[in-house]
Amino acid sequence: MSSAAERSGRAMTGEERRRYARQLLLPGFGSAGQDALIAARVLVIGAGGLGSVTAPYLAAAGVGTIGIVDDDVVDESNLQRQLLHDTASVGTPKVASAAARLLALNPLVRVETHPVRLDAANAVELIGSYDLVVDGADNFATRYVVADAAALTGRPHVWGSILRFDGQVSVWWPPHGPCYRCVFPAAPPEGSVASCAEAGVFGSLCAAIGSVQASEAIKLLSGLGEPLIGRLLVHDALAATWSTVAVRANPQCALCGDHRTITAPVSAPEVVADQARPRLDVAGLVTALTDPETLLVDVREPAEWATGVIAGARLIALGDLAAAGLPRDRRLVLYCAAGGRSARGVATLSDLGYPSVTDLAGGITAWAAERPIVAPTG
């Protein structure tokens, strides 16, 4: 990454030499590698599970400027895996919590906070102002925006993905190798992939995948080793295995191919219900629940149900929905954690001929942001 290295116009201070002493001893790294890190600007997308690992390691290594993009606040459910935050930071913006922790770890670095959702409108400007982007996004819409903006601005894209017990890492960087869309040209069908909020995530998996992302970023910035360009690293935490899959640039890729058609970031659609089946927002559900003919159904798993529910709901896990024998003469409203499973449930019941079925957009996560949840009964 010569662009970062070329900006280093000063000698390392004594404090920096003491702090980074063990790193300076590394063969092939030395003062030149450390100078490159000090001069570098890295943007971390998401201060969640992966960002909680990548950002501290980048700060500890001495990356001069670290940007953090996240529009969320710390929730108690984050603390099982997002070790950048603690109990005292619950309810505070994640970028503020992250910045405080990174500066406590290393006051010699600069932290720039961006308490916004990265989208097609701001991605090019944000990513273009950094040397490299580390992607820890938790949804397909953001992932595709990051991929597009990184390719369009020529920035290396250090990507990681986790779900349940499995993780993947790669470096996308055309023309040195493929971009994200070369391998994943489009998002999977809506509702076909559960989110971490719906499927769960093994907490220490974040450390395994995030630490690889941090290593890849440091290697790229310092010119050390062989980055994961053209290779997809796959980790199965349950089997304790790592494997590598070779991936290639696609000459027909719409983003980086010979006849590219994507000239600005394009967001993959979030998981939504069919447009012919309008969803309820929180206010709409509040109104619907005033009608005694409305039956509210929670399609999460029992362990999720136990953490809190919307008052009046009945628990029927998604896998049991078709055989549950729900009444056909009532209005059915489904909800889950974030909206993916409930959308699939709506499709299932509609296909079975239920005349009135809809769901809550954003699930109980959206409800809890505006209304109280209660302890389950029965």
Q: What is the C-alpha R_g of the chain?
A: 23
The token pair at 249 is: 């640039």
Alpha-carbon torsion (344, 345, 346, 352), positive or negative: positive
Let me know: does 288 contact 294? Beta carbons within 8 Å: yes
Distance CA 351, CA 364 (A): 24
All residues at 6 or more sequence positions from 60 whose CB lies less than 8 Å from its CB, including other chains: 105, 106
Residues in the chain, overall count: 378
Let me know: does 362 contact 339? Beta carbons within 8 Å: yes
Distance CA 122, CA 43 (A): 13
User: Shortest CA distance to 217 belongs to which of 174, 158, 137?
Assistant: 158
Catalytic residue status for 182:
no
Distance CA 187, CA 139 (A): 10
Intra-chain end-to-end CA distance of the chain, in Å = 60
For residue 76, the Cα-to-chain-centroid distance in whole angstroms is 17
168 bridge partner residues = 161, 234
Phi, psi of 19 (to 5 degrees): -65, -40
For residue 222, the Cα-to-chain-centroid distance in whole angstroms is 26
**Catalytic site residue from 182, 253, 256, 336:** 336
The token pair at 205 is: 């998996």
**Catalytic site residue from 179, 196, 206, 253:** 196
Phi, psi of 129 (to 5 degrees): -90, 5
Catalytic residue status for 253:
no
Enumerate the active-site residues. 196, 336
